[in-house]
Every structure is written in C-alpha cells, then in structure tokens.
Chain A
Amino acid sequence: DGGITQSPKYLFRKEGQNVTLSCEQNLNHDAMYWYRQDPGQGLRLIYYSQIVNDFQKGDIAEGYSVSREKKESFPLTVTSAQKNPTAFYLCASGASSYNEQFFGPGTRLTVL
C-alpha cells in the first residue's frame, strides 16, 4: 500500500509509441505482478515475477514486455504491438502467491 508506488498517475501517448510504466516497492517482496483493468471489468494478469531475473507471462502478455533486474522494481513496457493499450494498469507485490498482494495506485494510460 504505502510501500508500492507507480508513476506516472496519468499517461498520454500517441499510437505507435512504446511507453514504460514504473512500479517500485520497498516492502522486500519477492513477487511482483502487472494487471490490466478495463472500465467495468475485472483484473487481467499481464506478467508476473516470483524472483529477481525471472518472470512469466500472464493471460494477456502479447504486446507487453517486462524486466526484473532488481527486487524493488518491475517496469512494464507497452509496445506498439499492443492493439488496444488504453486502460488502467495496476502493479502489485507480495511475499509470495500465498500471501496478500499489495497494489499500487495505478497508472491510467490513454493512447491517442
């Protein structure tokens, strides 16, 4: 909650541009997650990482990429290959998948 941050809060990009969303946590959590939420919809998992230097695709990974070079950071890049990138993006972290996930405040991405 207070220990996981996302920036920026709002992001506007032109179609065809790549954009990177930041996610940082100081909770010493091993696991980190990226979700996409469309209006009136649930959470869909994009990518997740259970440990540094390792990550797995979620349910909707196409058009996205991630890296996990540091325990504290899990940036998400929305590439031009993502056909409909306008959405609310939520990052989360947890000690493991069997523990509470703490969500960041989210980034609202609008592609013009």
Chain B
Amino acid sequence: GENVEQHPSTLSVQEGDSAVIKCTYSDSASNYFPWYKQELGKRPQLIIDIRSNVGEKKDQRIAVTLNKTAKHFSLHITETQPEDSAVYFCCYSGNTGKLIFGQGTTLQVKP
C-alpha cells in the first residue's frame, strides 16, 4: 500500500549545524515530493518540493534530494537557526489523488 517512513522522529542540533531528515516511500509511480513545516499550533506550510524528473533542488539554506531508484528522498537544512525549530513532514503524491504524509520529525535548534 501507500506508505512513507520518516526518520528520525526527533532531531536536536546546535544553531549553525546542519540537519538531515530522510524518507522512504513505497509507490514507484510517485512523481511529486513536497516537504511541509509546521510550527507549534499553526498550519503546515510548504517549504520546498521536488518532482521526479530532477534529483536535487535547493532554495537558500534548504535542499531536497531524490533517489527514485532507491525510493529515498531527504531534506537538508544548513546553518540552522532557532526559527527552524518545528515539525517537518515529508510527503509524496500517490496514484489515488492524495498526498501521503510521513509521521513527522520534530527539529529543535538550540541557540
């Protein structure tokens, strides 16, 4: 069935360090892979997305990589700041018209 595993569930880093969140998905037909950030008590918001015709995409301090052969995709945040502290969700678009969400990673950036 449609499933995505996300690791780690919690991640604590020092300000300025890098953070990496990894996801593995099951549906080989997927071609859209967004990442959402949710701050405490707020709505999820898209931070970056990637489509299957590219292997990497970067937007300032955030980058996403995709390995379709291995069905892996990852989020990389460099030079982390306290405002990066939030819950991050990886997702992929399945073939049934819905987004499949990972379980979430709680990132804490310590000043």
Contacts and interface: CB of A to CB of B under 8 A. Distances in A.
Interface in A36-53: 41-43, 45, 48, 50
Contacts of A42: 89, 101-104
B89 A97 contact: no
Interface in B71-103: 89, 93-94, 96-99, 101-103
How big is chain A's contact interface, by range?
A: 20 to 34
Contacts of B89: 42-43
Contacts of A90: 43-44
Contacts of A104: 43
A56 B97 contact: yes
Contact of B44 (A48, A96, A97, A103): A103
A48 B98 contact: yes
Give the dominant DSSP class at B's interface. Answer: loop
Contacts of A101: 34, 46, 99
A1 B93 contact: no
A54 to B, nearest CB: 10
Given A42-B103, A43-B89, A106 B43 contact: yes
Interface in A64-110: 90, 96-101, 103-106
Nearest to A99: B32
Contacts of A50: 97
Nearest to B6: A42
13 contacts: A42-B89, A42-B101, A43-B89, A43-B101, A45-B101, A48-B97, A56-B98, A97-B32, A97-B97, A98-B31, A98-B93, A100-B49, A105-B42
Given A45-B98, A48-B98, 8 more contacts: A33-B99, A43-B44, A97-B94, A98-B31, A98-B93, A99-B32, A103-B43, A106-B43
